Chain A
Amino acid sequence: MNTAGHGAAVQIEACGKTFADGTRALDPATLDIARGETLVLLGPSGCGKTTMLRIIAGLELPDAGGKVLFDGKDMTSVPIERRNVGMVFQSYALFPNMTVADNIAYGLKIRGVAKDERAARVAELVALTNITGLENRRIEQLSGGQRQRVALARAVAIRPGILLLDEPLTALDAALRDRLRSELNRLLRALGITTIYVTHDQAEAMELGDRIVVMRKGAIAQIGTPREVYFAPRDRFVAEFIGAANIVEAPIDNGELILPGGRLPIRDGATGANATVMIRPETIRVTDAEAAVLSGVIDSISFVGDRQRIVVSGASSKPLNVDAPNTILAKVGDRIGLSIAPDALRMLPSEP
């Protein structure tokens, strides 16, 4: 594939969006997306992620003062048809009056590419997206997963500078979603196009994103690599939205977090009457209750196969979720000890 390396760098400068009825969909946001990077816009519904994508696509105009640049060129007032972006929609939006091959070739036909060249490009793309043999099918004869592949093939056929994906896997069932996610990941790496991917699914964001932009209520909550947003969330919202998190509010005394079930040493010398701390369930180790600095009583156990989720009460002001190895034999009502490495305690700013 000679598609690699034709991605464009994207800059978004102070792009906000207020709709005609006065609703603020997006606060002015600034973002730099490197050439070839896969950036994921992640957040709950109504957080502004789709609006941001549509501004980059050229389907929405940012409020006055906002600017969209591709490779340093101002594209703000250029309509989508002249932005050379590939787009995959949640509904796939495949043309029902065309075959699979005609769908994939549509952008090339519009560009006046010769018939032979179009056919060659279609052949290349059906092979790449694993839909060989479906070229002459009608859209209504395809399964959801096949439609998703056709939509992707159609979007990349035009060799776009930027690939925009709006919740492309949301309409599929869970098993297929997982399979297509890794397939998509492999494909995006192979293509090397600058990709902006909108999703509300944090697992998708983690697997696909070079960087994740976590959004909330029309504003950017945090930008970082998957590891950064997971291990070092900037606030409580990010901590709870990405992965599972125990949020503990407790006073600190002499380098230790004072909890109802004991004391936890913390790393840095933070002090304060009331600290907010995030503890990921998988960082808590189950130990013997007698020797432990922190202990509690098992409220419930859910065995999920590769591990078990134990809810422990009495250790903290709120029950703690603990992901324990599946070999530990314990039962509800047992008193257990908990140990947490100081590094695993992540201080969060207190909520106003």
Chain B
Amino acid sequence: MSQRSFVWFCLLPLAVVTTAFFLLPMARLVVAGAEGPHGLAGYLAILTEGRYRATLINTVLLAAATTVVTLIVATIAGMFLQRHRFPGRAVLIAMLTFPLAFPGVVVGFMIILLAGRQGLIGDLSNRIFGEKLVFAYSIYGLFLGYLYFSIPRVILTIMAAVQKLDVGLEEAARSLGASPWAVQRDVVLPALAPAFVASGAIAFATAMGAFGTAFTLATNIDVLPMLIYTEFTLAANFATSAALSVGLGLITWLILALARTFSGSAVAAAG
């Protein structure tokens, strides 16, 4: 066996798995999407049909908000955790990264325990203001849940990036007269830009496609994965759900590609 054919032989399992479980179902999905009453036009429904379009916009906004807030929270926390040593630091990091181990259902459950009808926040607000504050079953509850499981994904990437920062850069900027804010703006944030793009992309894609949390929380939340689920199981509308699935994938991919191009100059600058 030559060196070349040996390499191909080793790649065979990957090829088989990719074909069987990725390419074939994808192809089938794409075909199924066009098999509805409107044919290929079914693909455009995600944009043309009012209800679908609203859901799409909802989902993108939710994912974008999750990404932005996660980046802000995780950057501040990651920078602090990487730069300071204090008792309980290891425990805190472990706790912050704990949600990685939870499926979306558990996260949804926790949101209900926090902000549901019997939740902690409702209890507290009832006692103080005499009114029960319940938001677990709305898009705000979902946002909180997504935030909860996006933060660990981002915080670890940011911590690794902060560790690689040259402290000398910050000291140099300060010696030149830069205030702490200016140091962050001109030196630290540009240097962390690649980490923002990489971890932000993961947070965004996860929030676009997450289903378990949405499913646990709710009935009246319109996000794309929920929509696909209802079309598929309740309405048995195979073609539409297939078209929506492909659409969800494409749109997520497109937004990430745009974000990458857009931030390309910033990333190169941070070299």
B125: min CB distance to chain A, Å: 43
B residues 166-218 in Cβ contact with A at 8 Å: 166, 168-169, 171-179, 182, 186-187, 190-191
In the complex, the chain A residue whose C-beta lies closest to that of B175 is: A87
Most buried by B among A84, A93, A111, A155: A93
B interface residue numbers (CB < 8 A to A) = 166, 168-169, 171-179, 182, 186-187, 190-191, 269-271
In the complex, the chain A residue whose C-beta lies closest to that of B193 is: A97
* Residue A231 is within 8 A (CB to CB) of chain B in the complex: no
Check A81/B270 contact, CB under 8 A, given A95-B169, A95-B186. no
Pairs across A and B, CB under 8 Å, 20 listed: A81-B175, A83-B175, A87-B172, A92-B168, A93-B168, A94-B172, A95-B172, A96-B270, A96-B271, A97-B186, A97-B269, A97-B271, A106-B176, A106-B178, A106-B186, A110-B176, A110-B178, A111-B177, A155-B175, A158-B177
Q: How large is the interface on A (under 10, 10 to 19, 20 to 34, 35 or more residues)?
A: 20 to 34
A158-B176 in contact (CB<8A): yes
A81-B271 in contact (CB<8A): no
* Residue A147 is within 8 A (CB to CB) of chain B in the complex: no
A101: min CB distance to chain B, Å: 14
- Interface of chain B, main secondary structure: helix
CA distance A85 to B186 in the complex (A): 19
A residues 141-192 in Cβ contact with B at 8 Å: 154-155, 158, 164
A93-B172 in contact (CB<8A): yes
A181: min CB distance to chain B, Å: 22
B171-A107 in contact (CB<8A): no
B177-A81 in contact (CB<8A): yes
Q: Give the chain A neighbours of B187 by CB distance below 8 A.
A: 95, 97
Q: Contact check: which of B166, B175, B190, B270 meets A80 at CB < 8 Å?
A: B175
B158: min CB distance to chain A, Å: 17
CA distance A83 to B173 in the complex (A): 13
CA distance A86 to B172 in the complex (A): 9
Q: Give the chain B neighbours of A93 by CB distance below 8 A.
A: 166, 168-169, 171-172
A interface residue numbers (CB < 8 A to B) = 57, 59, 79-87, 89-98, 106-107, 110-111, 138-140, 154-155, 158, 164
Q: Give the chain B neighbours of A81 by CB distance below 8 A.
A: 174-179
A135: min CB distance to chain B, Å: 17
B169-A138 in contact (CB<8A): no
CA distance A140 to B271 in the complex (A): 8
Check A59/B171 contact, CB under 8 A, given A91-B166, A111-B177. yes
CA distance A94 to B187 in the complex (A): 10
Q: In the A-B complex, list the 4 residue pairs whose CB atoms are closest, starting with the nearest.
A: A107-B176, A93-B168, A93-B172, A97-B190
Q: Give the chain A neighbours of B166 by CB distance below 8 A.
A: 91, 93
Most buried by A among B172, B173, B174, B187: B172
Check A96/B173 contact, CB under 8 A, given A91-B166, A110-B182, A138-B271. no
A151: min CB distance to chain B, Å: 8
A96-B176 in contact (CB<8A): no
Q: Give the chain B neighbours of A106 by CB distance below 8 A.
A: 173, 176, 178, 186
A195: min CB distance to chain B, Å: 14
CA distance A150 to B264 in the complex (A): 26
Q: Give the chain B neighbours of A94 by CB distance below 8 A.
A: 172
CA distance A85 to B175 in the complex (A): 6
CA distance A195 to B123 in the complex (A): 66
A61: min CB distance to chain B, Å: 14
B271-A154 in contact (CB<8A): no
Check A110/B271 contact, CB under 8 A, given A89-B168, A91-B166. no
B175-A91 in contact (CB<8A): no
B189: min CB distance to chain A, Å: 9
CA distance A91 to B169 in the complex (A): 9
In the complex, the chain A residue whose C-beta lies closest to that of B267 is: A97
Q: Give the chain B neighbours of A82 by CB distance below 8 A.
A: 177
B177-A107 in contact (CB<8A): yes
A203: min CB distance to chain B, Å: 25
CA distance A93 to B174 in the complex (A): 12
In the complex, the chain B residue whose C-beta lies closest to that of A87 is: B175
In the complex, the chain B residue whose C-beta lies closest to that of A141 is: B271
CA distance A62 to B172 in the complex (A): 20
